[in-house]
Amino acid sequence: MARTVQLNNVDHRDLRVNTGRGVALGDAVMWAITFPAEFRNVQAHYPIVFGKSADGEFQPLALFGFTEGQNLFLQGDRWDATYIPLTIERQPFLIGRSVDELLMHIDLDHPRVGNARGEALFLPHGGTSAYLEHASSVLNTIHQGLQGTAPFVAALLQHDLLEPFVLDIRLDDGSDNRLSGYYTINEERLRVLDGEAFAALGRAGHLEAIYMMLASVVRFRDLIERVNRAAAAGR
């Protein structure tokens, strides 16, 4: 369970964050939340789909696997992709809020956090380290990026462009598998949108994100190949 506190250079002056990769560091996850401004980088490696949050809101996700806890990009202590979604990269830091002020928080129970090894958060005399400055920048990018999710989803719903999908997969070992419970963009409805609706999506900046999502579908082939390779290797 998370134990989040506001970060400060007195109570947390000796904390370090392990920036390595591995199951023990919390990287065994099936997906990560993403946002439209990140789609260009994400689609180069991962399928982008929509899931539903606990309160029923649509949220875009970068998929790493087909089952809970399966990260097909995690190869021992290495993440096998040149881009890692920012909501993974930001761990163990979070954004907190005090009235209208955004504050940096840290999960003290996160497996990356300790005193023995990793990147220092603060300099000997209390200033912030280059690593912590980078982490703050990542959090700010996430915060700004997530502001674009609600209008993007609203536009897709307005034009009835979201649909559930089922992906049936037969692996090399002959087993049949199914991915369900997620949503994607209905390409046929997109193609028949009238000119004004299409133009409105363009003016709002949503068309790029739509096409990035559609392009990311080919990344399912990579996920399937990774499952087959893992099975062949006995992992």
Instruction: Let me know: does 162 contact 60? Beta carbons within 8 Å.
Output: no
Torsion of CA 87, 137, 128, 113, to 10 degrees: 0
Task: Give the pLDDT confidence score for residue 78 in this predicted structure.
Answer: 95
Q: Convert the pLDDT of each residue in 52-74 to its tens digit.
A: 998 999 999 999 999 999 999 99
- Cα 224 from chain centre: 19
Task: Give the pLDDT confidence score for residue 116 in this predicted structure.
Answer: 82
Torsion of CA 69, 71, 75, 80, to 10 degrees: -160
Task: Give the pLDDT confidence score for residue 126 in this predicted structure.
Answer: 80
Task: Give the pLDDT confidence score for residue 1 in this predicted structure.
Answer: 67
The model's pTM? 0.93
CA angle 167/171/172 to nearest 5° reads 155
User: Is the link from the previous residue into 92 a cis peptide, with omega within 30 of 0?
Assistant: yes
Task: Give the pLDDT confidence score for residue 58 in this predicted structure.
Answer: 97
Mean pLDDT of each 10-residue bin along the chain, 235 residues long: 87 94 96 98 98 94 95 95 98 86 92 92 91 96 96 97 93 86 96 93 95 96 92 73
Task: Give the pLDDT confidence score for residue 235 in this predicted structure.
Answer: 63
